[in-house]
A = this chain, B = another copy of it.
Amino acid sequence: MPIKVMLVDDQQLMRDGIKMLLELEDDIELIAEASNGREAVSLYEQHAPDLVLMDIEMPLMNGIEATRKIKAINAAARVLILTTFGQEDYLRDALLAGAQGFLLKAVSSDELTESIRKVNKGESVLDGHSTQVLLDSYRALSEVKRPKGKLLLTVREEQILKLIDKQKNNRDIAINLQLAEGTVKNYISQILEKLQVHDRNRAVRVAKERGLL
């Protein structure tokens, strides 16, 4: 059975072009069209398409907001953004709204149909330019988050983690190291943050796995 697609774009001409192009593929069926975000959300509920091809810049409600709303209705919804402009903030917002794919309208028709198939299978797709933008953004984010790459614990943090490993509570750790209890709590917060976990026991486990303890 073919992939049921809904197309959302405010330009009639663009919709007609894409429609013709999708009609050539016998495993893709266009079952609905919307010309703005608001209409898209309402038609999504009526037709339950497998995948939504979504423009961003549209009247009444833009594609990002519509994606968010559709995802709120059905978290498993597949949304593939197809837009003229690939600014970083569009891309970021679209991905955070839950879109599985992000293509510039500059892509070839082959790339579009191939992307529809991939997204339908549960994969994610980005065109070359958007991948580039995402990677740059990802690198910038990662560097802020992990200043050393090594992810080392400081001397104090390691001391404290070792005491946690011995099942000591905060008060005992504080007495042991001659610190205020608040200080110990703070160190533990930092350790959790560095190890990307949310409780002390998991922290010990992760640290051991990475040979930090």
- Residues of chain A at the chain B interface (Cβ within 8 Å): 92, 95-96, 118, 121-126, 128-129, 131-132, 134-135, 137-139, 141-145, 149, 193, 196
Contact = CB atoms under 8 A, between A and B. Distances in A.
Contacts of A139: 95-96
Contacts of A124: 128, 131-132, 135
Q: How many copies does the complex hold?
A: 2
A76 to B, nearest CB: 14
Identify which of A129, A134, A138 gathers the most chain B CB atoms within 10 Å of its CB.
A138
A145 B138 contact: no
B128 A118 contact: yes
A88 to B, nearest CB: 11
A95 B138 CA distance: 9
Nearest to A147: B193
A193 to B, nearest CB: 8
A111 to B, nearest CB: 10
For the complex of A and B, the 9 pairs showing the least CB-CB separation, nearest first, are A123-B128, A124-B131, A124-B132, A141-B141, A118-B128, A124-B135, A138-B138, A95-B135, A96-B142
Contacts of A145: 141, 144-145
Given A96-B149, A149-B96, A129 B138 contact: no
A125 B123 contact: no
A115 to B, nearest CB: 9
A134 B138 CA distance: 9
A85 to B, nearest CB: 17
A54 to B, nearest CB: 16
9 contacts: A96-B149, A123-B128, A124-B131, A124-B135, A126-B126, A131-B131, A138-B141, A141-B141, A145-B145
Contacts of A126: 126, 131
B134 A123 contact: no
